[in-house]
Every structure is written in structure tokens, then in C-alpha cells.
Amino acid sequence: MPEAWKTCAACKKPIPHGAAYWTCSVSTCNRARFQPVFCSLACWDSHVAVMNHRNAWADEHRAPTEAEAKRLAAGEGTKRRIVPRGRPAAEDRPVLIVASRLKAYIKDKSGMNTSAEVLEVLSDIVRAEADRAIDEARRHGRRTVMARDFR
Ligand SMILES: [Zn+2]
Ligand SMILES: [Zn+2]
């Protein structure tokens, strides 16, 4: 019997070499060292429910064959992004970036294209900075967020 590649984080069944497996998109589940892997979307679904994730999706991978696993010390499968699950991209995480302007800026500056996910990542950065500025304004008893609150 061939040795399993990894074990499913939900049902603890072995994930064989060469089999499909899924990972969770949520950043805390996505750190290289402790990344949980799932043998099925059902197992990932149960993980999403237990963790109460929002805005999660599963990434489908294929586990390396035994030969590939020996070559690839890291053991990364090929990646295909699928299946948004959990609560939908909630109204509390809207895109805050003007897509057309950002894309035009990057295109003009570099000739490069911009992937849609960039807008989400930058929106998260803007949101975090705005939250900090709001706290700062509040601390000074103001009801207006000012430029200096971002410093
Ligand atoms: Zn499982
Ligand atoms: Zn997760």
C-alpha cells in the first residue's frame, strides 16, 4: 500500500499521492507551515462552518505523485481556484479602488495588466488605513477624518 501524501484536516482520511485535494483561501488557513488540506469539498465545507469563515473559497490542487513529491520538497500541487463558499463577499468588504483608473495607471506606467484580485487586496489595505484614521480622529474628539490622521 503506497504511503499517503497528507491527511485530511477534517475527516483525517489519507490523501493519496496524485489525488485531488483542496485548501482554504482564508489567510489564517493559508500559511505555508500549518496549511490544512482537505480530501473533498464536503470536508472543506465542514471546516468553513466550524471556523465560521466569511468570503472563503477552496483552491483545488492535485497532490504530487510519489516521484514528484521526491522532486518537490515543498510538495505543492498545481493550483486551480474554484468554488466560492461560506458567506458571500459581504457588503463589509466592498472594492474601494477605482478599477479603471488603477488599471490605466499600471498600464501607462508599465504596460502591464492588473488582475481583479489586486482591487480586493488594495481595498483591504485602504480599509485598514481608514479604520486606523477613524480611531485617530475619534481619539481627538473630531467627527471629521483628516489627512493627518493617516500619519
Ligand atoms: Zn476529508
Ligand atoms: Zn479555513
Rounded CA gap, 17 and 29, in Å?
22
The confidence score (pLDDT) of residue 124 equals 87
Ligand with an atom nearest the CA of residue 9: 1
Tell me which ligand sits closest to the C-alpha of residue 7: 1
Q: How far is CA 133 from the centre of its chain?
A: 25
In angstroms, what is the span from residue 72 Cα to ligand 2's centroid? 24
Q: State the distance from the centre of ligand 2 to the C-alpha of 58, rounded, in angstroms.
A: 9
| Cross-strand pairs, 62 | 20, 78
User: What is the per-residue pLDDT for 75?
Assistant: 46
Band of residue 79 on the pLDDT scale cut at 50, 70, 90: low
Q: 87: which strand partners?
A: 54
Q: 78 pLDDT exceeds 50?
A: yes
CA distances from 33 to 3, 9, 28, 37, 48 (A): 21, 14, 11, 11, 19
Residue 109: what residue type?
Answer: K
pLDDT at 144: 94
Domain residue extents for the chain: 6-85, 99-150
pLDDT digits (tens, 9 = 90+) for 30-67: 876 778 999 999 999 999 988 888 888 888 888 888 88
Spacing, Cα 80 to ligand 1 middle (Å) = 19
Dist CA 35 CA 52 (whole Å): 17
Q: Tell how far the Cα of 24 is from the centroid of ligand 2, in angstroms.
A: 5
pLDDT digits (tens, 9 = 90+) for 103-143: 999 999 999 998 888 888 898 889 889 999 999 999 999 99
Distances (CA, A) of 29 to 9, 53, 95, 116, 127: 11, 10, 23, 22, 22
* pLDDT the model gives residue 93: 76
Could you tell me the distance, in angstroms and rounded to a whole number, from the CA of residue 19 to the centre of ligand 1?
Answer: 12
Distance (Å) from CA 103 to ligand 2 centroid: 31
Residue 83: which of 58, 46, 101 has the closest Cα?
Answer: 58
